[in-house]
Amino acid sequence: MTATATYTIQQLPLEERPRERMLRHGPEVMATAELIAIILGSGMKGTPVLQLAQAILARFGTLHCVAEATIAELCEIKGLGPAKAIQLKAAFTLGVRASQHIGMPKYRIETPLQAYHLLRDEIAHAKQEHFVVIMLDVKGIVITVETVSVGTLSNALVHPREVFYPAIRNKAASVILGHNHPSGDLTPSRQDYDITNKLIEVGKVMGIPVRDHIIVVENDYLSMREKGVMF
């Protein structure tokens, strides 16, 4: 028995339900409609979730067209309300961002300006402070960039484990820290000094040195290493 529109999720044998199939066999064996059904989580009254997922694919024709659809266009599908349309749009947007990083060409960072160029598009225009870690291999080539903390208008709290766990997971040889100042003022705060030097010390213990900490505003940056404020 396979998952078709003839059956509701509850009518399917347990082993044929999308979540259970993914848990047992992995995402590679899943049909596109099943993956969409997992993202949606549940259907609406009179529309089982798998049937709703199939209706979405039928309406737009291809997965690419589903990804390109606006929230308003998704809401035109019977049974798909704003909340589920937003869930679906968020999932596709995350997929696009992940693929951009996966496909990112090799980029070597040798100067603070190069680090700033990499961070600028990520966080320069954010209205809250974002704390970002650039992970580098032994040759100084970017492995990946990860936001590890999002704070208030003027404060992004970060714990060393949030910085070094992804660094260890990605086998980084060193890291560059970065965060934005939504105020537009590049002056490091007392907290900026404290967290930078705390992370430097942790990096020494972990064997993953902190190469720099870049403060980013819309059209400028400050390198704490270049300014001699890293102890």
Residue pLDDT, tens place only, 52-95:
888 888 888 777 788 888 999 999 988 888 988 898 888 888 88
Arithmetic mean of pLDDT, 151-176: 85
| Closest CA relative to residue 140, chosen from 169, 108, 117, 170 | 108
pLDDT above 70: residue 145:
yes
pLDDT above 60: residue 10:
no
CATH superfamily assigned to domain 112-223: Cytidine Deaminase, domain 2 (3.40.140.10)
End-to-end CA distance of the chain: 65
Q: Find out whether 148 and 162 touch, Cβ atoms under 8 Å.
A: yes
- Give the pLDDT band (50/70/90) at residue 105: low
**What is the chain's length?**
231
For residue 149, the model assigns a pLDDT of 87
For residue 112, the model assigns a pLDDT of 94
87's CB contacts (< 8 A; 6+ apart) are: 39, 40, 41
Query: Could you report the per-residue pLDDT of 115-144, keeping only the tens digit for each?
Result: 999 898 788 888 889 999 999 999 999 998
DSSP 8-state assignment for residue 13: -
Domain 14-102 shares a fold with domain 112-223: no
Distance of alpha carbon 144 from alpha carbon 203, whole angstroms = 18
What is the pTM (predicted TM-score) of this model?
0.58
Mean pLDDT for all residues in the chain: 83
List the chain domain ranges: 14-102, 112-223
Distance of alpha carbon 78 from alpha carbon 155, whole angstroms = 43
Distance of alpha carbon 188 from alpha carbon 213, whole angstroms = 10
For residues 9 and 196, the model is more confident at 196
pLDDT above 50: residue 153:
yes
Class of the CATH-defined domain 14-102 = mainly alpha
Exposure string for 61-89, b = 16+ CB within 10 A, e = fewer:
eeeeebeebeeeebbebebbeeebbeebb
